[in-house]
Structure 1
């Protein structure tokens, strides 16, 4: 009988130890105990990170940033990428203009009087993108009633110019070129019967059909006219005209 009691006591002690061990295991597998929340966060983080490892998601994409940095950073990243795309795809740049010549429907041409013998040629870009002009407009002077324009007078232009690209005209901007019909101011020896100026804004690429005709008025004095390069201001255009020394 004493032996029976000793075995019972040992069995009871073993049962208590086993119960204690099971309780400890239950706390570690997330089914109970104070470590439950911390343990659950790790599997969740692992699942959330999986999309960034997907081969279909580009490296550095907004999806990857979302996993690594959170929603706020994603917004900033997307905005930055949109801005970069917009900037990189802009059509109002010099480089775009140099590869896209101005067409007749994209520009307007206007001529105004600056002085007794000077005229200002204004070419305005009315389009939404930049375009390229020649170094100066193609200009000749003749009679509005003459059927033969082959003997029209062409002005001198600045020499020493390189090849294209020439003048980049941005959207909404105006390019100016100044011509002096009679730089010497002579009143004798001038060409008779000259009353019209013909202007082709982009002589390098526009067809002759785009030529615009502007009356000079009767009695216009024309003798060795000079034409300057396209410029951003009238003052610069005048300075360029004064350097004209080469036949156009």
Structure 2
């Protein structure tokens, strides 16, 4: 009996060893991929490493709507909402300073000032689609319609000490006013008699041929006339006119 059992015991030991060997091999083969995955991939739910630029909390890429908005040109500085809010124009004074008014986009007229004999209001309105710039005052001279030249024309005094902005900004639809007093002292006997008021809205950028002629009536007395600077209201234009003390040089 002992002789027969020894081979069985040996066989059993061999079988057990084989099973353990197979289990070990199977364990090594299965653990390699799992171990590799645990090293190369973060645990489930763990955030991926973030670049330094995202530490402030900003998204890595802006949403489509934000990207489109950022690519649109911004409105010009100083532009206001409404009809004047146009690209590069509207109420943007900086734009007006570098874009002289086009004579074709100006409405110019001269009217008597109510309650002020001898005073005329020069109105220059911007009828264009963008803001533009005028010189600080119009070029005005008084003469007769029959005059063949300007040798006998009368020029008004203007305020001195001009400075500041390079031009008078005129927004879309806005009107600039300049007031002229043809005869501040109310003289009659010593005054020159004229019948025409000539206006060049922007002498710095317009040619003399762009001068407009406005009838004054028969033999209007003119003596030491005064002209104010462009202003946004008639009241302010009158105040400017009363300070005129410098001969016109244009």
Question: Which bin holds the TM-score, normalised by the shorter protein?
Answer: 0.7 to 0.9
1:40-98 C-alpha deviation (Å, 9 max, x unpaired): x96xx99xx9xxxxxxxxx9xxxxx8x71452xx42354245253x3366234222222
Are the equivalent residues in 2 in contact too, given 1:27–1:36 (CA < 8 A)? no
Structure 1 CA distance for aligned equivalents of residues 122 and 21 of structure 2: 108
Are the equivalent residues in 1 in contact too, given 2:200–2:206 (CA < 8 A)? yes
What displacement does 1:235 show?
A: 0.9
1:11 — aligned with what?
18
Rg larger in structure: 2
Size of the alignment, in residue pairs? 220
Structure-2 change in CA distance of 1:68 and 1:208 (3 Å): same
Structure 2 CA distance for aligned equivalents of residues 207 and 133 of structure 1: 14
SS of equivalent residue, structure 2 residue 213: strand
Are the equivalent residues in 1 in contact too, given 2:196–2:216 (CA < 8 A)? yes
- Residue 132 (structure 2) pairs with residue 134 (structure 1): no
In structure 1, the gaps of 5 or more residues are 50-58, 60-64
Normalised by the length of structure 2, the TM-score is: 0.76
SS of equivalent residue, structure 2 residue 18: helix
1:122-175 C-alpha deviation (Å, 9 max, x unpaired): 111122222221110000001112223221100000011138713122222111
Structure 2 CA distance for aligned equivalents of residues 168 and 28 of structure 1: 76
Structure 2 CA distance for aligned equivalents of residues 22 and 232 of structure 1: 91
Residue pairs, 1:59-138, within 5 angstroms = 68-69=60-61, 71=63, 74-82=64-72, 84=74, 86-87=75-76, 90-92=88-90, 93-114=92-113, 115-138=116-139
What displacement does 1:206 show?
A: 0.3
Structure number having the greater strand percentage: 2
Structure 1 CA distance for aligned equivalents of residues 43 and 237 of structure 2: 80
Structure number having the greater helix percentage: 1
2:207 — aligned with what?
207
Structure-2 change in CA distance of 1:80 and 1:154 (3 Å): same
Structure 1 residue ranges (4+ consecutive) displaced by more than 4 angstroms after TM superposition: 24-30, 35-39
What displacement does 1:27 show?
A: 5.0
Are the equivalent residues in 2 in contact too, given 1:196–1:214 (CA < 8 A)? yes
Structure 2 CA distance for aligned equivalents of residues 22 and 36 of structure 1: 22
2:167 — aligned with what?
166
Structure-2 change in CA distance of 1:3 and 1:214 (3 Å): same
In structure 2, the gaps of 5 or more residues are 1-6, 78-86
SS of equivalent residue, structure 2 residue 218: coil
